[in-house]
């Protein structure tokens, strides 16, 4: 028996085709002859090393998947009171559907055990569906700050392009992905598939989209608070947006960059870590904004309005343009948020007036 090996990345069955390049494969050629001598143990070392590398990556991916499910369940249980308060018992709206999909979809993607082809299809397109939920949350935050239709005309087509690119790349790579026959089921458990090297392109558009949205949010907050300081709403959006962006970008970079290297490709695509933690971040953003909306609000008026000839003389408003009932409960609370900024000249003093709920009805509002 004579064995020949090539390229140490993923395991390929001896019966699988080799017409397409893949990231990981082994080829076996067996010539059975009664006259050939038995091979030495050193001839099997590359094969054994490859099996060991695949086993280590698969075990790491499994532990990450178990950790992801545990984190999802823990987050669900620890925020159950907030879910009951802000989600349950309220009419079905776009935001409620997005919330429930964000909660349930990751568990479906990570937790189901079925045929290899179904796993590939469900996980690939399921991650794209989760990308839509993540980007929708980003659009809501951005629209809340701008309150102008042009931001929607910018972000929604951008989302369509992003999802279209991710879907195209996923479809192409699914066609290139081959389920393999497991040669050592006692050692390697689960599905063995050959994954193309360019799978990272499916994540790349999502990374760019999140960068653009975060830059828009930071610029708008800086513009509204320039010289006047940040309002509680701006600070809330900035803090949440920064943390959300940092965590989500790190996860997407892990999936994107990790998919480009054979040593991490299994962990990046098979662990479900991006799915689990992105879902948690989306839920936290929802609850954070609901909690902020339910608090009492303060009306700030800094000086009288000035003529249009003075820079910044017009009322600079930061409007949370989307009433939260559009995305949550369908009922308007008597409490609202109003923050109105007037930029006075140096000769004018600044006056700050605080009013209760009855006065909170104007430009910068967040209603539930």
pTM over cut 0.85: no
Taking only Cα atoms into account, the Rg of the chain, rounded to an integer number of angstroms, comes to 27
Q: Is 32 exposed, middle or buried (0-12, 13-18, 19+ CB in 10 A)?
A: exposed
Q: Which H or E run contains 283?
A: helix 273-294
pLDDT tens across the length of the chain (368 residues): 444 333 334 433 333 333 344 333 333 333 434 444 455 666 767 767 777 777 777 777 778 778 878 888 888 888 888 888 878 877 887 767 777 777 777 766 665 555 565 566 666 676 777 778 778 877 877 787 787 888 889 899 999 999 899 888 888 877 777 666 666 666 666 666 666 777 778 778 888 888 888 888 888 877 777 666 666 666 766 666 667 777 777 777 777 777 777 777 777 766 677 777 777 877 777 777 677 666 644 333 333 444 444 444 334 444 444 444 433 344 444 344 443 433 344 444 444 434 433 333 333 444 33
How far apart CA 296 and CA 259 sit, in angstroms, is 47
Task: Give the orientation angle of helix 116-146 with respect to helix 149-176, to 10 degrees.
Answer: 170
Name the E strands within 199-334: 316-317
Instruction: Identify the pLDDT of residue 116.
Output: 62
Instruction: Identify the pLDDT of residue 166.
Output: 86
Residue 316 pairs in a beta bridge with 341
Write out the DSSP string of 84-118. Answer: HHHTTTS---HHHHHHHHHHHHHHHHHH----HHH
Instruction: Identify the pLDDT of residue 157.
Output: 92
Q: Is 339 exposed, middle or buried (0-12, 13-18, 19+ CB in 10 A)?
A: buried
């007036």: which residue's tokens? 353
CATH code, residues 59-294:
1.20.1070
Domain ranges of the chain: 59-294, 296-368
């Amino acid at each position: 028996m004579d064995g020949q090996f090539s390229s140490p990345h993923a395991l390929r069955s001896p019966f699988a085709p080799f017409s397409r390049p893949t990231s990981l494969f082994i080829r076996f050629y067996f010539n059975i002859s009664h006259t050939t001598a038995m091979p030495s143990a050193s001839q099997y070392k590359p094969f054994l090393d490859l099996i060991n590398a695949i086993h280590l990556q698969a075990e790491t991916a499994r532990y990450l998947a178990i950790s992801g499910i545990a984190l999802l369940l823990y987050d669900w249980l620890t925020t159950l009171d907030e879910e009951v308060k802000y989600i349950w018992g309220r009419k079905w709206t776009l935001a409620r559907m997005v919330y429930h999909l964000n909660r349930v979809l990751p568990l479906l993607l990570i937790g189901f055990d079925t045929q290899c082809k179904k796993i590939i299809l469900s996980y690939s397109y399921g991650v794209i569906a989760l990308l839509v939920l993540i980007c929708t949350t980003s659009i809501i935050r951005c629209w809340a700050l701008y309150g102008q239709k042009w931001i929607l005309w910018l972000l929604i087509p951008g989302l369509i392009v992003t999802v279209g690119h991710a879907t195209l790349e996923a479809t192409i790579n699914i066609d290139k992905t081959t389920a393999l026959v497991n040669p050592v089921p006692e050692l390697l458990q689960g599905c063995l598939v050959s994954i193309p090297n360019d799978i990272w392109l499916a994540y790349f558009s999502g990374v760019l989209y999140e960068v653009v949205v975060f830059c828009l949010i930071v610029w708008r907050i800086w513009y509204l608070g320039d010289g006047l300081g940040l309002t509680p709403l701006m600070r809330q959006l900035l803090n949440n947006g920064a943390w959300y962006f940092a965590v989500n970008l790190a996860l997407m970079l892990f999936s994107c960059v990790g998919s480009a290297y054979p040593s991490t490709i299994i962990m990046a695509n098979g662990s479900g870590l991006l799915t689990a933690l992105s879902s948690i971040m989306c839920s936290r953003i929802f609850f954070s904004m609901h909690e902020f909306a339910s608090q009492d609000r303060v009306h700030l008026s800094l000086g009288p309005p000035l003529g249009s000839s003075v820079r910044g003389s017009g009322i600079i408003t930061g409007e949370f343009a989307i009433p939260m009932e559009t995305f949550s409960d369908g009922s308007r609370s008597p409490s609202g948020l109003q923050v109105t900024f007037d930029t006075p000249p140096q000769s004018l003093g600044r006056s700050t007036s605080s009013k209760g709920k009855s006065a909170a009805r104007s430009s910068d509002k967040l209603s539930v």
